Structure 1
C-alpha cells in the first residue's frame, strides 16, 4: 500500500463505536474508506452533513453530495444534511468527539500550523480553527518530512499557528506520536521503519518507551 493509504488506515483505527468524527479534506477523508465494519461512527463534514460513508465508485457519485474539500461522498441510511450555521453549532458546541486534520507543521507542544505559508496564496483556514478548539480530541495526519527531507514534526512551529496546544495525536507515514504534558512520546513506527530512523528524521524531542510496536493495519476489516 502507498503511504497515504497507510495513514488513512491507521487513522481509522482511532475510531470507537458511537463517536462523532470530523474528517478534514485530504488524507483524513480517505479514512472513511477503511472504517471497520464492527465500529459504527457518525462522520461529520463541516459543510453540513452527518453520517457520510466511503467514497462512491467511479461513475456513481451524486453531484449534490460532497465533503468540505469538494470530494464526492456517500450518505448512509439515517444521514442528514443542514446549513453551515447548524454544522458549526455542532462543532463549537463540543459535540464532535474527534477531528482529524492535515497540517503543514506540528510541534512537540501540540501546536499546529495548517493554514498559511507567508508569501503564498492559500484559500485560508476554513473551519479548521473551530474544529481544533471545539473537538474533544484532535488527531493530526501529515507526511513526516517535506520533499527536501526536512522534518515537519518540530520543536516549535515556524508558520502562523492555527491553534496552540490542542493536538493529542500525530499520525505520519513513519510513526504515531502522542502529545503529553511531558513531551512527544513515540507510540508506533510504520512497517519497515526503525525507531532510530524516526528519531533521525524528527526535529522534535521524542520520548522513547522500552517497547515501540509497529503500526498494525493488516487486521482492518472494511465495511
Structure 2
C-alpha cells in the first residue's frame, strides 16, 4: 500500500503545539514544498498553532528556496531552535524568520549543529540528554547567552552547566519531536528512501528515529515514487518502517540555485579544468597564505568564506588530492563548491551522514580546520555568529562550535578591518583608503570560539589577513608576519588592543602578492603513531 499523500493532507497531520524537526542545510535537502503546505494551511485555517521547530542546519536561503520563511508567521511558530538560520546580504530585506527573532515575537535559540543531532540521537534512545564540553566558554555556555538569540529565548533555558566526575560539562536535555520532516530523492510504495540525486544525506535517519521511537510521525518529501521492491537494499538510507507518509515534489532543487547536477551527487566526475579558480585579488592572497599552513596527507575541515577558496588554490598549484576536505554536511574529499552551493562537493570520495561527520569533528579526528572571522578579541576569541547592527547577515554558528571545540589546528582568515580600499602593486599591498570598522577588538560581541579555552587545551591557532599573520599564545595575540609594503603602524593603529610583536617578525611571502602561481609545496604530514595514553 502506497504511503503517498498530498502536501495539504500531510500538513493537516501536524497538531497544535507540536515539536517539529526539519532536515535541511540551507537549500540542500530542503523539504520546501512541505513547509509551504504548512504555511498555507495556517493561512486558511489558523492551524497548526504555536509549534516548536528544530533545524540542525538552516532550512531555506535567500535565493529561491524559502524554507522556514514559509512558516515564519505570528501564531504558527512559538519557538525555533536552529543550528543555523537563513542569511542574506545587508542590502536585502531580512528573512521573515529573522524579523520575528529580532522583534522578539518567538523564542529563538542557536544550538551548535552537531549537538542538535546529538539531541535527536539521545531522544531516540530515550536517554536524558547530551553531556558535552562542546561550547564551554562560548555563547553556548549558560554563563554567557546559553544559546538564546533574544529575550524570549533567555526566559526558557535549553542548556545547563553541571558538574560530573569533578569536571564542568554542558547538559542539553533531550528534545522529543512529534513530527520529523525529511527529504530524499526516491521513495518506493513502502516508504523506503534513497538519496541518489542528493548532495548529502544530512541527518534524516536520526531525525526519523527520534520521532518514530517516541510515537511521532515521519513525513518524507521526495522527487519521485517507484514500485515496491525496486530499490536496492544497500541504497536505502532511511527504511520504510520509519516513514509514515510521502509527498512528491518533482521540481525540488538539489541545492540552492541548482535544480540538478550529477557531479554533486557523485554520479559523474567533473574534469578538474572545469572548476573555476579564484581571480587574483586580495582574497586570493589570503587564501594562498592559508594554504601554506597545510600538510600533504591531512584531513582538513573547511568553512564558509575566504577559506572556501583554498581547495581551488591547491587545484591551481597542481596539488589537488594532497589534502582530503571534509565539510559538515557530510561530503568527504573532492572539490567543495563555493557561494550558495557551499555545503556540497563535486567528485567527492564519500558521503557521511552529517551526525557522524560531527562526531568526527567533536572528537578532533581531523587534522586542521580553515574558518573565517568577523571579530578577533584581545584574548584570541573569535566571533562569527552575531553582529547587532546586521543580525540577518550572520547565519548563526552552524557547526562552527562543534568543529573548533577540540580541533588540533585552526586557521582563521578574513580582512583585517572592514571597509578598507586595498590594492596590489609591484608585489606589495597598498592601502588606498583605511577601513572604518575595526575587527580586532578588546572584547568580541559574541564568543563563537573561546581563546581562553584554546590556550587551556593547547590548540594551534593562526589568524591570516591581507596585511599580517598572527598567532595565539598564552601571552596574547602575537604578530608574526607583515605584508610587503605595509608599515607596522597600518596594523597597530587598526587594533583596539596592543598586539605583541614577534622577535623574529617576518615579511609575508612575496609570491602571494604576484599574479603568477606561487609554486606551493606542502610538507608531508608526519606518520600517525599510536600513543600509550589516548587523548581525552
| TM-score range relative to shorter protein | 0.7 to 0.9
How far, CA to CA, are the matches of 1:93 and 1:129 in structure 2? 12
Aligned twin of 2:322: 40
TM-score where L is the length of structure 1? 0.83
Aligned twin of 2:297: 18
The answer to whether the 8 Å contact 1:10/1:217 transfers is no
How far, CA to CA, are the matches of 1:211 and 1:125 in structure 2? 35
Does 1:215 pair with 2:508?
yes
How far, CA to CA, are the matches of 2:462 and 2:294 in structure 1? 13
Aligned twin of 2:470: 177
What are the superposed Cα offsets for residues 13-69 of structure 1, whole Å, 9 maximum, x if unpaired? 00012211111011011011112546821111111111123x6xxxxxxxxxx5795
The DSSP-based 3-state class of the residue aligned with 2:437 is coil
The answer to whether the 8 Å contact 2:292/2:520 transfers is no
What are the superposed Cα offsets for residues 68-116 of structure 1, whole Å, 9 maximum, x if unpaired? 952364326xx11121112111111211211111111012312111011
Which ranges in structure 2 are unaligned for 5 or more consecutive residues?
A: 1-279, 420-434, 455-459, 512-517, 523-536
How far, CA to CA, are the matches of 1:134 and 1:68 in structure 2? 27
Aligned twin of 1:62: none
Aligned twin of 1:164: 450
How far, CA to CA, are the matches of 2:367 and 2:339 in structure 1? 18
Does 1:153 pair with 2:459?
no
Structure with the larger helix share: 2
Question: Structure 1 residue aligned with 2:333, among 43, 51, 66?
Answer: 51
Does 1:186 pair with 2:479?
yes
What are the superposed Cα offsets for residues 127-158 of structure 1, whole Å, 9 maximum, x if unpaired? 1111111321121111111124232112321x
Which ranges in structure 1 are unaligned for 5 or more consecutive residues?
A: 56-65
Distance change >3 Å, CA 112–CA 139, structure 1 → 2? same
Question: Structure 2 residue aligned with 1:80, among 337, 344, 350?
Answer: 350
Shift in Å at residue 163 of structure 1?
2.3
The DSSP-based 3-state class of the residue aligned with 2:502 is coil
How many pairs are equivalent? 209
Distance change >3 Å, CA 90–CA 214, structure 1 → 2? same
Matches within 5 A, 1:52-201: 52-53=334-335, 66=337, 70-71=341-342, 73-75=345-347, 79-118=349-388, 120-121=391-392, 122-147=394-419, 148-157=435-444, 159-165=445-451, 166=454, 168-201=461-494
* Structure exhibiting the larger radius of gyration computed from Cα positions: 2
Shift in Å at residue 11 of structure 1?
0.5
What are the superposed Cα offsets for residues 172-194 of structure 1, whole Å, 9 maximum, x if unpaired? 11110001001111111123212
Aligned twin of 1:29: 308
TM-score where L is the length of structure 2? 0.37
How far, CA to CA, are the matches of 1:104 and 1:197 in structure 2? 19
Distance change >3 Å, CA 73–CA 215, structure 1 → 2? farther
Q: Which structure is higher in RCO with an 8 Å CA cutoff and minimum separation 6? A: 1
Aligned twin of 1:61: none
The answer to whether the 8 Å contact 2:484/2:510 transfers is no
The answer to whether the 8 Å contact 2:309/2:338 transfers is no
How far, CA to CA, are the matches of 2:406 and 2:475 in structure 1? 23
